Amino acid sequence: MTIKQVFVPDIGSFADVEVIEILVNVGDSIATDTSLMTVESDKAAMDIPAPFGGVVKELKIKVGDKVSAGSLVLMLDTAGEAVASSTAPVVTSFTPAATPVVANVPPPTHPAPEVQVHIPPKHRPDPVAAHAEFADGKPAHASPSVRRFARELGIHPGGADLSRIKGSGPRGRILKEDVQNWVKAELAKPTGEAIGLGFSPAPVIDFTKFGEIETQALSRIKKLSGANLHRNWVSAPHVTQFDEADITDLEDFRKSMLDEAAKRGVKLTLLAFLMKAVVNALRTYPSFNASLAADGENLVLKKYFHVGFACDTPDGLVVPVIRDVNKKDVMDIARELAELSELARERKLKVDAMQGGCFTVSSLGGIGGTAFTPIINCPEVAIIGLSRAEMKPVWNKASKSFEPRLMLPLSLSYDHRVIDGADGARFTSHLRLMLSDVRRLLL
Ligand code: CAO
């Protein structure tokens, strides 16, 4: 056992300052730089760091004590700990005006010479303003260690967040426990409230008051996708652009190819052509093949073209991803669509088959409907919905007559933080052009 005394270091012009918090307990194992206590003057607060690691044997101060440089703080057993300041000069006498901090105390059974160790400059504490003013003019009273703790949890000291925490310490000081309790309470709030949308909580309604009910557990997929859909819906400002593509010729071509595709074991679907057209549009409008960087400062443009498709399964919605759609032909894409859909419905889809998508296609065309507003599969920035293609009378300017054309409804939802309305309309116009004459995809 090597017991050392730890003194208050040189704290500049601070003298006779109040100990407002003791941050360690007897028996605590602490590392170099661990904050031992916080002292506060009228103008600033500062943490006193440990000059080296060890086990706290005895506290020599209590909250409310007044201390100055040289006041004894605690006794530390440093056996087995490397003294961080071992390269610092060693002095043999204690002078409060200098920066002495630690003295070895000879344990009763193993007397050892007294040694004092200077704290190297990096160990000298930095004062911070004791009462930071926040946006609302309210003082947020918190010690440096509490501010640091809050910062580690993503609460920005000096910002409005810290001022939202009510301090339970003396004079309303925010304590570590106040930060912990605040974070717990925030996490327990419904999602919208936690991200600052200020939703009032949904009322709990006893539906049996109104009639017979049956309660079914949500599937795992529904719970997972529900949470993601909710987050995406509230976090990305959605705009949905509607359009219609004339797929009369495409559908004729697809039908003419069905037998040949079947001989190759492929069910040639409209979706396979749509995927090719989507990649063509993504190349032309790269901001659609992008994600916002986590810092919100940059756009990450992707040079690969992995396209996901929403697949309806008995357990709920999943989104398998077809990789490198730009490098595959329509037959390959159709084959992969069928394979991945089957795996999804048999619950055999691997997690990595649902990752890495750049853009999503959601087709409800096989079921019905005229349009819908798909939710962006964030961090992607856009998704296209397909509804049921219908024969419609379309005005032909050249022949000045209405012609029956097969029109495919397109619903493009995009993240307005990344994509402007004009580009949204350009993107669907481009798709319309590609789908109306798929020979263009070869160009
Ligand atoms: N208009 C008219 N008919 C369409 C069509 C459209 N837009 N899209 C498909 N069809 C037809 C197909 O040609 C097929 O007809 P036949 O059986 O006569 O050949 C039939 O509808 C069924 O097609 P399908 O839906 O099985 O196949 P697909 O390749 O078009 O779609 C898949 C595959 C996986 C996308 C689809 O099965 C599916 O799961 N769709 C649901 C997606 C979903 O839930 N989206 C909502 C998510 S919320 O954003």
- pLDDT confidence of residue 146: 81
The number of beta carbons lying within 10 Å of the beta carbon of residue 37 is: 25
**Ligand 1: distance of its center to the CA of 58 in Å?**
73
Asked, for residue 213, whether it belongs to a domain, the answer is no
What are the pocket residues of ligand 1 if the criterion is a CB atom closer than 6 Å to any ligand atom? 269-271, 309-312, 317, 337, 341, 362-366, 374-375, 386, 388-389, 408
Chain segment 156-208, per-residue pLDDT in tens: 654 456 777 888 887 778 888 888 888 888 777 655 555 566 677 788 899 99
Q: 381: domain CATH number?
A: 3.30.559.10
Closest-lying ligand 1 atom to the alpha carbon of residue 374: 49
**Ligand 1: distance of its center to the CA of 365 in Å?**
5
What's this model's pTM, rounded to 2 decimal places? 0.63
- Same domain for 253 and 115? no
Catalytic amino acids?
Answer: 416
User: 3 is written with which tokens?
Assistant: 């017991």
The residue among 187, 214, 233 that closes a domain is 187
The pair phi, psi for residue 436, each rounded to 5°, is -75, -20
- Same domain for 344 and 270? yes
- pLDDT confidence of residue 417: 96
Which residue's alpha carbon is nearest to atom 14 within ligand 1?
A: 366
Q: 9: domain CATH number?
A: 2.40.50.100
- Same domain for 21 and 167? yes
- Same domain for 299 and 182? no
Asked, for residue 405, whether it belongs to a domain, the answer is yes
- Please count the structural domains in the chain: 2
Helix (H) / strand (E) containing 222: helix 220-235
Chain segment 360-396, per-residue pLDDT in tens: 999 999 999 999 999 999 999 999 999 999 999 999 9
Asked, for residue 9, whether it belongs to a domain, the answer is yes
**Ligand 1: distance of its center to the CA of 394 in Å?**
24
Helix (H) / strand (E) containing 262: helix 248-263
The number of beta carbons lying within 10 Å of the beta carbon of residue 235 is: 16
| Cα 226 → chain centroid | 17
Average pLDDT over residues 252-267: 97
The residue among 187, 206, 240 that closes a domain is 187
Distances (CA, A) of 126 to 301, 350, 370, 431: 42, 52, 65, 60
- Same domain for 265 and 350? yes
Helix (H) / strand (E) containing 7: strand 3-7
Domain that holds residue 296: 225-442
Mutation test residue for ligand 1: of 268, 340, 363, the one with most atoms within 8 Å of CB: 363
**Ligand 1: distance of its center to the CA of 318 in Å?**
14
